Amino acid sequence: TLYNSFEDITPTSFDFVIVGGGTAGCVLANRLSENANVSVLLLEAGPSNADVFDSIIPMLPSLLNPNTLYDWNYSTTPQTGFNGRSIQYPRGHMLGGSSSVNYMAYTVASFEDWNRYARLSGDDGWSWSSIQKYIARNEDWTPPADGHNTSGQYNPAYHSSQGITSVSLPGFAHDFDSLIIATTAEKPRRFPFNLDMNDGRPLGLGWIQTTIKGGQRSSSATSYLGGDFASRENLHIVVNTRVTRLFHNGLHKVSPIFRTVEFTQSETGPRTNVTATKEVILSAGAVGTPQILLLSGIGDQEALTALGINTIVDNPSVGHNLSDHPVLPNVWYVNSTATFDDLSRNSTFAAAEVASWAKTQQGMLVDSPLAHLVWARVPDGSYSIPDPSAGPLTGQYEMLFSNGWLGATQAPPTGYFMTISTAVTAPSSRGNLTLSTSNPFDQPNINPNLLGTDFDLFVMKEAVRAARDFVTAEAWESYVVREFETLAAATTPATLEQYIRKNSGTIFHPVGTASMSPKGARYGVVDPDLLVKGVSGLRIADASILPLVPSAHTQVPVYIVGERAASLVKSAHGLD
């Protein structure tokens, strides 16, 4: 049942308290409340997702941030790799978390990415073969909005229709689709066609798969809390409620027991405590989770003492090892008016598209602004550092196609565009997150250190070269007019570097701020069963536990973390 305030709940005790109703948090809330005898409390800082049209309509995620109620409205510290610029750092602030605001790309990562997680955590339960059952539990393969014949666009052998999150191929045909496919035929060595990039071997070019059903976003809030799930009597969901810290009471052997959560509805409002009888599960995301740990005295003692926070567990790994993907929108003028550019600058056109979507669930609004994806690698032997990717069958960079302007700024008032965004997907840079003050309402210092190494800059340059090479295929001759001015000016190595540093941003994939490491390791924040090291009663399930960013968009890895965490919690408490 959904509540706007904790006070509306008839007093009861809770077996589990889940902090953060985001991507992973909603998975836990659903799975743990499957057993009617288990009582679950889910606390979410943001509002409900119900009736938020910019979240429901797949084409409109760019309207959800920054500077909205649905975004945390964070910004980064000055980024050295971006010539000292700070950038906006969106995170979803509503039920469903970032799955309610994201661009819906559905990518499971490579088998090498998962096998590396198994190696780094010392737990084979994170390997590619072990996580297949969690993919199956999460995914509900669904026909595209327009019901077109999808043969040749994906491989059914790698998909499940037994799960909860809806996944589909695009439901609206764009003019450039056939040109993209023609390019793989023309340049098969550089851009080989990949029938299904979710088979564990993502390299190549393929049709995007997205978390969309019938022209509407499928988020963890619409899926795992959709239908009858949210009305379960043993599931209590409270929105507009921010957790400010965790308290410990008592010891289990030598470990402090962290099962009490403090929360409030406003900065100056009263603080309330609730204690879970079994476990607290932190699912506040790669920014929120380390922030709460640090505010609770779990972190680097020296830094905590400097802010007047009493250290309960001295663990310098909390907040460190942040990694993310830098992305650069590269834009071309095109010889077509059938792009999505007029949506943002012609209100009559936009209103007609929305009306048509509302009536028929058809048209260009049924899809994400992202179309086909390419996963690729720089040439072997072209760099001297150890390869930061998970292996030779894993992408080091990505190209993402959009049928219109997808820059960080508004589309120009005239002109029609195609964007090929390029992202470094196996970065060697690492950043960190620290507290700026001991006030839970002050944003932490977020430093993803994007393009922080020469290697990452080198890969981005190679990715821009690849995007330029792509449009030289004959298929584009009468479609692409010329490069947008900023790209066109990048003609020498020095101007290319400046173009990259000035125009890159984040593709919103931070992970690693509460990394898992083997049991007994002296670094890391959680064990491979996601229990926080050095304390009792506290687990973490969200993007923060992934020790390295996968070469993939991160929502599917997070859904897998949520599903596996639920299964670990159930077996730890005999609830299977």
Ligand X SMILES: Cc1cc2nc3c(=O)[nH]c(=O)nc-3n(C[C@H](O)[C@H](O)[C@H](O)COP(=O)(O)OP(=O)(O)OC[C@H]3O[C@@H](n4cnc5c(N)ncnc54)[C@H](O)[C@@H]3O)c2cc1C
Closest CA to 307 of 433, 432, 435: 435
- Out of 38, 60, 79, 93, the only residue in the binding site for ligand X (CB under 6 A) is 93
Is 17 annotated among the ligand-binding residues? Answer: no
Is 553 noted as a catalytic residue in this protein? yes
Q: Position of tokens 């979410």?
A: 44
Binders in 236-295 for ligand X, by CB under 6 A: 242-243, 283-286, 288, 292
Q: First-to-last CA distance in the chain?
A: 23
Q: Position of tokens 């010539």?
A: 83
Please report, for residues 43, 223, 275, 424, 563, the alpha-carbon distance to residue 573 in angstroms, rounded to integers and kept in the order given.
Answer: 21, 25, 17, 41, 16
Cα–Cα distance for residue pair 557/554, rounded to 1 Å:
5
CB atoms within 10 A of CB 330: 26
Binding mask 33-72 for ligand X (x = CB under 6 A): ----------xxxx------------------x-------
Would you say 43 or 399 has its CB closer to ligand X?
43
Residue 85 CB burial class (10 angstroms; 0-12, 13-18, ≥19): middle
- Out of 2, 18, 19, 374, the only residue in the binding site for ligand X (CB under 6 A) is 19
Q: Please tell me whether residue 99 adopts helix, strand or coil conformation.
A: helix
- Residue 375 in the binding site for ligand X (CB under 6 A): no
Look up residue 103 and give its two tokens.
């661009």
Please report, for residues 198, 272, 285, 300, the alpha-carbon distance to residue 449 in angstroms, rounded to integers and kept in the order given.
Answer: 28, 36, 18, 20
Cα–Cα distance for residue pair 576/558, rounded to 1 Å:
22
Task: Please report how close the Cβ of residue 37 comes to ligand X at its closest, in angstroms.
Answer: 26
Name the residue type at position 471: V
Would you say 8 or 454 has its CB closer to ligand X?
8
How open is the CA angle 128-420-491, to the nearest 5 degrees? 125
How many residues can be counted in the chain? 576
Cβ atoms of 552 and 559 within 8 Å: the answer is no
Task: Please report how close the Cβ of residue 355 comes to ligand X at its closest, in angstroms.
Answer: 26
Task: Please report how close the Cβ of residue 39 comes to ligand X at its closest, in angstroms.
Answer: 19
Would you say 323 or 396 has its CB closer to ligand X?
323
Q: Position of tokens 């027991």?
A: 257
- Out of 58, 97, 369, 431, the only residue in the binding site for ligand X (CB under 6 A) is 97
Cα–Cα distance for residue pair 10/236, rounded to 1 Å:
10
Task: Please report how close the Cβ of residue 441 comes to ligand X at its closest, in angstroms.
Answer: 10
Cα–Cα distance for residue pair 64/298, rounded to 1 Å:
32
- Residue 102 in the binding site for ligand X (CB under 6 A): yes
Look up residue 53 and give its two tokens.
């049209």
Is 509 noted as a catalytic residue in this protein? yes
- Residue 159 in the binding site for ligand X (CB under 6 A): no
Cα–Cα distance for residue pair 100/55, rounded to 1 Å:
6
Cβ atoms of 486 and 495 within 8 Å: the answer is no
Task: Please report how close the Cβ of residue 188 comes to ligand X at its closest, in angstroms.
Answer: 27
- Out of 81, 90, 444, 550, the only residue in the binding site for ligand X (CB under 6 A) is 90
Which residues are bridge partners to 239 per DSSP? Answer: none
- Residue 569 in the binding site for ligand X (CB under 6 A): no
Cα–Cα distance for residue pair 545/524, rounded to 1 Å:
9
Task: Please report how close the Cβ of residue 403 comes to ligand X at its closest, in angstroms.
Answer: 16
Would you say 255 or 262 has its CB closer to ligand X?
262
Binders in 481-510 for ligand X, by CB under 6 A: 508-509
- Shortest Cβ contact with ligand X: which residue? 22
Binding mask 332-361 for ligand X (x = CB under 6 A): ------------------------------
Binding mask 514-553 for ligand X (x = CB under 6 A): ----------------------------xx---------x
Would you say 135 or 457 has its CB closer to ligand X?
135
Q: Mention every residue, 6+ apart, whose C-beta is less than 8 A from residue 438.
A: 295, 307, 308, 309
Task: Please report how close the Cβ of residue 43 comes to ligand X at its closest, in angstroms.
Answer: 5
Name the residue type at position 289: T
Look up residue 132 and give its two tokens.
């297949």
- Out of 20, 329, 427, 431, the only residue in the binding site for ligand X (CB under 6 A) is 20
Closest CA to 313 of 255, 383, 394: 255
Cα–Cα distance for residue pair 223/160, rounded to 1 Å:
15
Would you say 181 or 408 has its CB closer to ligand X?
408
Kindly name the residue from 159, 174, 248, 509 that is annotated as catalytic.
509
How many residues of this chain interact with ligand X, rule: CB under 6 A? 41
Segment lying near ligand X (by CB under 6 A), choices 15-23, 226-234, 344-352, 410-418 = 15-23
Would you say 92 or 204 has its CB closer to ligand X?
92
Cα–Cα distance for residue pair 158/465, rounded to 1 Å:
32
Task: Please report how close the Cβ of residue 105 comes to ligand X at its closest, in angstroms.
Answer: 4
Would you say 255 or 265 has its CB closer to ligand X?
265
Segment lying near ligand X (by CB under 6 A), choices 98-106, 181-189, 193-201, 475-483 = 98-106
Annotated binding site: 243
Annotated binding site for FAD: 243
> Where in the sequence numbering do the catalytic residues fall?
509, 553
Q: Which positions lie near ligand X, rule CB under 6 A? A: 19-25, 43-46, 65, 90-93, 97-99, 101-105, 242-243, 283-286, 288, 292, 508-509, 542-543, 553-556, 558
